[in-house]
Every structure is written in C-alpha cells, then in structure tokens.
Amino acid sequence: MDQLHLSEQEIIRREALEELRKLGIDPFPAETFDVNVSSREILENFRQEPGRFGDVSVAGRIMTRRIMGNASFAEIQDQSGRIQIYLRRDDICMGEDKTMYNNVFKKLLDIGDIVGIRGFVFVTQVGEISVHVKELKLLAKSLHPLPVVKEKDGKTYDAFSDPDQRYRQRCLDLIVNPHIREVFTGRTRLIDSMRSFLNSNGYLEVETPVLQPLYGGATARPFKTYHNTLDTTLYLRIANELYLKRLIVGGYEGVYEFSKDFRNEGMSRFHNPEFTQMELYVAYKDYRWMMDLVEEMIEKAAVDLTGSTRLKVGDKEIDFKRPWKRYTMFEAIEAFAGVDISEMDEAKLRETAGKLGVEIDRTMAKGKIIDEIFGELCEPNLIQPTFITDYPIEMSPLAKKHRSKEGLVERFEAIVNGKELCNSFSELNDPIDQRERFMEQLKLAERGDKEAMVLDEDFLRALEYGMPPTAGLGVGIDRLAMIMTNSNSIQDVIFFPQMRPGKKVVKDDTEE
C-alpha cells in the first residue's frame, strides 16, 4: 500500500512490523499454537477447581494494555470473552531472549495484535482472575488500529456503533462489539433446533438449484444472469418450491431445504435482496395439519434458544406457546379495518381502498388490492403469533382451491410482531388448474405486474405424472432470527448484508 495513503498510526505499525522482522520474529508465523482452555472456562471454573489451571495455553487479541515498568497488565479477547493477563519482565520470553519484554511487548506490540500465551492462573490482590504469563508468542500483527474505546461518567463505550459502519465492516464489529456474536450464535442455534425437529419427524434435507432457467415459486422480481457455455439466460432463484415439489412427485414424502433465495426488490429493515428461507413439503397432509406443525416447531425453537416460550422483542413480549390465534383473511380485515370485503368485485375494492386511505395503482388486480388493505390495516396489529387463513384465489397461484369456500384457497400465513413469518398452502396438484393459474399470471404481467409468475412447462409436466396431496411451508429464517434474538433490523442477523455503495444503511421500510 502507498505510504501516502496511510494514517500516522498505520505507518507506526508497519515500522514495528519491520523491527520485529529485524529481531528475527515472524509477525505471521505458520506453526500451530495449541490452545487448551478458553477465557470463559477459566473465569467460570477457576475458583471451584484451581488445580486445573496450573498450566494453561490461551490465544486471543490484545484489547487493552497497562504498562507499569517491569510488569504490565493486558486483556486478551478470544471467541468466548476476555481475560486479564499479567506479564513480568523476568518471566516473559519469546524464544530464549528474556529482554523481549522491553524490546517487543512494550515497544512493538499493539492493541489488536493476536498473541498466544502460556502460564498459570492466579487471583490478583484486587480479586481479579488473571493469567500469569510465562511465555508469549506473537501470532499475527495488526496493521490497522482498532476504534478507540471511550469513557463517560465512569462507563466505557466504543466508537464503532454506527450501523452503516458496523454492517460494512462486520469483522471489526465482531472485534469491538463481541456481544454481537451472541446474535449470530443464536441464529445458528435456531436453525439447529428447526433442523433437529424436522429430522426427528423423518423429513429429508435436500439441495435444489440456485441458478434456474425459469424463476418460480413466488411472486417477486428476479436477478438475471447469463451462462456462456450453455448460451442461456439463468435466474437466481426467488424460491425453491417448484423443485421441492418435483421431489414429492418423484416419491419422497417429506423434504426440506434451508435455501438462499434472491429477490430484486426494495430494501428495508425487514428486507434484504439475499435472504434465507426454510421450505418444507410433506405428502398426504394439508394446510391445517401444517399449522399445528408450525406451532410446535417454533415453540420448541423459542424454548431451545431462551428456555421459555416468552421472548422480549423491543418493548413487547411475544409468547409462542400453543395454540396461536387464528383469523381468516376476511375476518381480519373486518376486525381491524371495519369493513366486509368478502363479496366485493375489483371496482368496489378500489373504491373501498380509497376510502380506507390505502394507496393502490392501476396494475393491481383484485388479489393485490386485498393484500394492500390487509398489509396496511391488519398486519401491524398482529403482535402475538397469529395465523391468517383462507386467502382469495387471485393471491395464491400455487395453492389448492378451498374445499368448501368458493373463490378462496387453502393457505395460511403466520404473522408475528406485525410481519409475515411464514407462508403455507395445501399445494395445488391439479395440473390443468395449475396451467390456468399460470395463464392468469401472464395476464397480470401484461397489465404491468413485474412480480407475476412465469409459465413453467417443465413443472407442469412433472405435475402431470401425479403429485399426491401435499402441504407446503416457507419460513423466513432472517425474520424469525430477528424475533428470537431481539434484533431491530434484518441487517443485524445477516453477517454481510447488501449495502448501497457509499450510502447510509436503510433504517425504515422503503418497500413492503
């Protein structure tokens, strides 16, 4: 890197790097450093079992230093937390040279450097559990200074709290704000809980294509790419539904996938262009059965993560204990908007939306208008886990017609804290009906609906071989992780969210 573009601190650290090399110390050694204990293990167990910690080997990043002549204190941070270390000039060695305390630790090591230490655990005069260092080894030199931790009113806080910076430099966020790791650990435990539940029920985890010749399984705008060798246009999947259904046609009776999906749409604190979804398809079941499974699976996940069905989410308490409240879509609109729209045609719906103050445009057909009314006036009121069932047929081109209610389909969504968490159908397995639904989607596309589905002849052919009655489910993992970890934004539960180049992070909804 050009020295002209380096800060003063970066120049000093590079000079220290060269001095270390002149002393024969490799600042990035290749050999293994064997760690036999974590900082958390020491802090949690030393007072009960002091004999276990007479010879410890710990590695981590230097986060603080207090130089005091011939002895010093520092803190190192590993994956589990921080622990204080104590260094004395006559004890510490790097190789055979015991003068390295003065020449190296005091002068050439910095906050942010990664070191390995060996020594024994003791308690200082002020009662702090610490490691008395007998040997210190530099494992990686940090060439860029960490943000400075500041103090105010006796409390410490870091200078790296701006969300835009944190999301763009996640590695630095995880160093300076180690509590953030707990969010991502919680996300992994959530997925583990769901995977364990699904496996215990005998369902098979599978993988389906990310690059697809046709995008389908949802109403959304895709990302488009091109494959040179095949000389064909491909799309990043918006859903994996149609491929999982092909596996049900092929004879599997229960399959699921944790999939990365991609939708070329608006961004908000609830939407990221790349997101994770779990989709499940089970043969010989329907959407009513699937509601019971969702309740059981999510209740179990809450208990696995927090030990309780009750979770703090912002200033609210969400209780996932079964059973959850259930409304039909029309019942919910009547309850929260005060109007019965169940018998309205498109013209009357447009008039009603205007009276209710719900914005719509000319491209929206009947189903989209109903969805806008529900999203604007009902969803924000559904805080506790609630199932919304029995959607208009226009909104659900892949769902089976309702067995007893004309014009509706067998579908539910679970709404939690005012947002959709999952979506489920009794899956449409009539290939003739499915073709007609696809044709209706093509008409919507002609009206200007950029999210309308395309006609997939290969999928229709698969249905023509015969698909058993099937219940399908899609769960938004990122949104569920937000709730389970009490996070305010989807960017908080995705390690590397998409960001506008050089722009501030989106903090409010721009598109639902």
Are 231 and 133 found together in one domain?
no
Low-confidence ranges of the chain (pLDDT < 50): 507-512
Helices 477-484 and 180-200: angle between axes, nearest 10 degrees = 120
Are 136 and 212 found together in one domain?
no
Are 139 and 207 found together in one domain?
no
Would you say 487 and 495 are in contact if contact means Cβ atoms under 8 Å apart? Answer: no
The reply to whether 107 falls in a domain is: yes
Are 110 and 206 found together in one domain?
no
We report the CATH number of the domain holding residue 318 as: 3.30.930.10
Are 307 and 412 found together in one domain?
yes
In degrees and rounded to multiples of 5, residue 87 shows phi and psi of -120, 135
Best CA proximity match to 276, nearest among 219, 309, 237: 237
Are 138 and 211 found together in one domain?
no
The reply to whether 378 falls in a domain is: no
Are 312 and 454 found together in one domain?
yes
Domain boundary among 146, 172, 196: 146
Are 105 and 192 found together in one domain?
no
Are 11 and 95 found together in one domain?
yes
pLDDT at residue 2 in the model: 56
| Whole-number Å distance between alpha carbons of 197 and 115 | 41
- For residue 431, give the H/E element and its range: helix 431-446
Are 128 and 197 found together in one domain?
no
pLDDT at residue 153 in the model: 66
State the residue range of the domain holding 30. Answer: 3-146
The reply to whether 35 falls in a domain is: yes
| Whole-number Å distance between alpha carbons of 485 and 508 | 19
The reply to whether 244 falls in a domain is: yes
| Whole-number Å distance between alpha carbons of 236 and 210 | 6
Are 312 and 222 found together in one domain?
yes
The reply to whether 51 falls in a domain is: yes
Mean model confidence pLDDT for the chain = 91
Percent of the chain with pLDDT over 90: 77
Count of the separate structural domains present in the chain: 2
The reply to whether 342 falls in a domain is: no
Q: Which residues pair with 97 in a beta bridge?
A: 94
The reply to whether 509 falls in a domain is: no
In degrees and rounded to multiples of 5, residue 206 shows phi and psi of -130, 175
The residues, ordered by sequence, that sit 6+ positions from 185 with a Cβ below 8 Å of its Cβ are: none
Supply angle C-alpha 104, 109, 110, rounded to 5. Answer: 160
Are 211 and 121 found together in one domain?
no
Reported as a single tens digit per residue, the pLDDT across 248-305 is 999 999 999 999 999 998 888 889 999 999 999 999 999 999 999 999 999 999 999 9
Would you say 352 and 372 are in contact if contact means Cβ atoms under 8 Å apart? Answer: no
- What amino acid is encoded at 35 in this protein? V
| Whole-number Å distance between alpha carbons of 202 and 196 | 10
The reply to whether 219 falls in a domain is: yes
We report the CATH number of the domain holding residue 44 as: 2.40.50.140
3-state SS, 125-169, equals: CCCCEEEEEEEEEEEECCCCCCCCCEEECCEEECCCCCHHHHHHC
